[in-house]
Amino acid sequence: MQRINAVLKRVPTLSLYIAGVVPLIWLVVLLFTGGLGVDPVKALEHRVGKIGLQFMIAVLAVTPLRRFFGLNLIKFRRALGLLTFLYIVVHLAVWLALDIQFYWAEIWADILKRPYITIGMTGFVLMLPLAVTSNNASIKRMGPAGWKMLHKLTYLAALAGALHYVWLVKGWQYEPLVYMGGIILLLGLRIRVNRKRAARI
Looking at 11-19, 119-127, 170-178, 193-201, which segment touches other proteins (CB under 8 A)?
A: 170-178
Q: Is 96 in the site for other proteins (CB under 8 A)?
A: no
Q: How far is the CB of 132 from other proteins (least distance, A)?
A: 31
Q: Three-state SS for 67?
A: helix
Distance between CA atoms of residues 187 and 83, nearest Å: 20
Q: How far is CA 165 from the centre of its chain?
A: 12
Q: How far is the CB of 107 from other proteins (least distance, A)?
A: 10
Q: Cα–Cα distance between 46 and 23 in angstroms, integer?
A: 13
User: CB within 8 A of 101, min separation 6: which ones?
Assistant: none
Largest CA distance in the chain: 59
- Total residues found in the chain within this entry: 201
CB nearer to other proteins: pick between 10 and 170? 170
Residue 192 identity: R
Rg (CA), the chain: 18
Binding to other proteins (CB under 8 A) within 13-42 occurs at: 31-32, 37-42
Contact status: 174 vs other proteins (CB under 8 A): yes
Closer CB to other proteins, 42 or 66, in the complex:
42
Q: How many residues at the interface with other proteins, by CB under 8 A?
A: 29
Q: Which of the ranges 55-63, 71-79, 101-109, 125-133 carries the binding residues for other proteins, by CB under 8 A? A: 101-109
Q: What distance in Å separates the CA atoms of residue 183 and residue 186, rounded to the nearest whole number?
A: 5
Question: Where does this chain touch other proteins (CB under 8 A) — which range of 10-18, 73-81, 114-122, 141-149?
Answer: 114-122
Chain contacts with other proteins (rule: CB under 8 A): 31-32, 37-42, 98-101, 103, 106, 109-110, 113-116, 167-175
